[in-house]
Amino acid sequence: MIDNNILVKGNKEGINIVININKFKDFEEMLEALVKRLSVGKMFYKGCNLKIITDLKNINEKQSIKLKQVLFEKFLIKDCIFQDSNEKPSKIFSGIYEGRTKFLRKTIRGGQVVNYPGNIVIIGDVNAGSEIYVGGNIIVFGTLRGYAHAGFGGNSKAIVAAISLEPEMLQIADLVTRSPDNMKPQYPEVAKVRGNIIIVEPYLPNKFI
């Protein structure tokens, strides 16, 4: 179960981690919960810029240094900055159309891992055994197999669309589903969250969301 006291959101600058530190007994308990939270999809954070948003009066300089060291060592992040939660936060990636989009004109082969905080558009196939983690939407102009996680960090408005949607596993925000066995799509499809489940339906230009 996702700890609601630690929220992970992607935006065009990187990843925002919002921590309600007042809900934890002490710094060590918070740090343990943070490591556990980020360990889900660990490779997503490699090379990313992280912003820790929390009540900074409850973290001293020694603790902030320790927090940075843990994030650098365990998750191989690129940079980490702190922002006081009492300041006006920057806009987070929470919708379907907003945010930066990255285009990949290639086939994603088995064993490859793709991480991006915004939207991903892949012009090519996504082979079985590959992994894709994005904060926004996944659009594939080809066949999508492998593991696809859109809305990483809790964006349940994200979608996954492909010419041929055949993922080994598909996840949007915290919801997970698998493709039916031996069911090859006959038309482009879009996966999205409706209620508490992931639904898959034909792509219709006039009814995309």
DSSP string across 85-131: TTSPPPPP--SSS-S-EEEE-S-B-TT-EEEESSEEEESS-B-TT-E
Question: Is residue 123 over pLDDT 90?
Answer: yes
Residue 95 has pLDDT above 70, yes or no: no
Domain range list for the chain:
6-84, 101-202
- 6-84 and 101-202 share one CATH topology? no
When comparing pLDDT for 55 and 185, which is higher?
Answer: 55
pTM: 0.56
| Residue spans of alpha helices (H) in the chain | 27-38, 61-75
Strand partners, 80: 50
Q: Please give the CATH topology (third level) of the domain spanning 101-202.
A: Pectate Lyase C-like (2.160.20)
The pLDDT-based confidence of 65 (bands split at 50, 70, 90) is confident
What per-residue confidence (pLDDT) applies to 61?
Answer: 81
Helix axes of 61-75 and 27-38: crossing angle, nearest 10 degrees: 20
* Residue 158, pLDDT score: 92
Bigger pLDDT: 48 vs 182: 48
Q: Strand 49-54 relative to strand 101-104: parallel, antiparallel, unpaired? A: unpaired
Distance CA 1, CA 91 (A): 25
Residue 90 pLDDT > 50, yes or no? Answer: no
Sheet bearing 79-84, strands edge to edge:
6-11, 14-19, 49-54, 79-84
Report residue 91's pLDDT band, with 50, 70 and 90 as the boundaries: very low
**Is residue 99 predicted with pLDDT exceeding 70?**
no
pLDDT tens digit string along 11-35? 656 788 999 998 899 999 999 999 9
Confidence of residue 192 (pLDDT cuts 50, 70, 90): very high
Q: Give 135-182 pLDDT, tens digit per residue.
A: 889 999 999 999 999 988 788 889 999 999 999 999 998 888 887 666
Is the pLDDT at 94 greater than 60? The verdict is no
DSSP letter assigned to residue 58: G
Is the pLDDT at 93 greater than 60? The verdict is: no
Sheet holding 197-202, edge to edge: 101-104, 119-122, 138-144, 160-165, 189-194, 197-202
* Residue, of 160 and 184, whose pLDDT is higher: 160
Asked if 174 and 2 count as a contact pair (C-beta separation under 8 A), the reply is yes
Choose the CATH number for 6-84 among 3.40.50, 1.10.3470, 3.30.160, 3.30.750.
3.30.750
Q: Which residues does 120 contact at the CB level (< 8 Å), separation at least 6?
A: 101, 102, 104, 114, 132, 134, 136, 137, 138, 139
Tell me the per-residue pLDDT of 71-86, one tens digit each, with 9 for 90 and over: 988 888 877 888 888 7
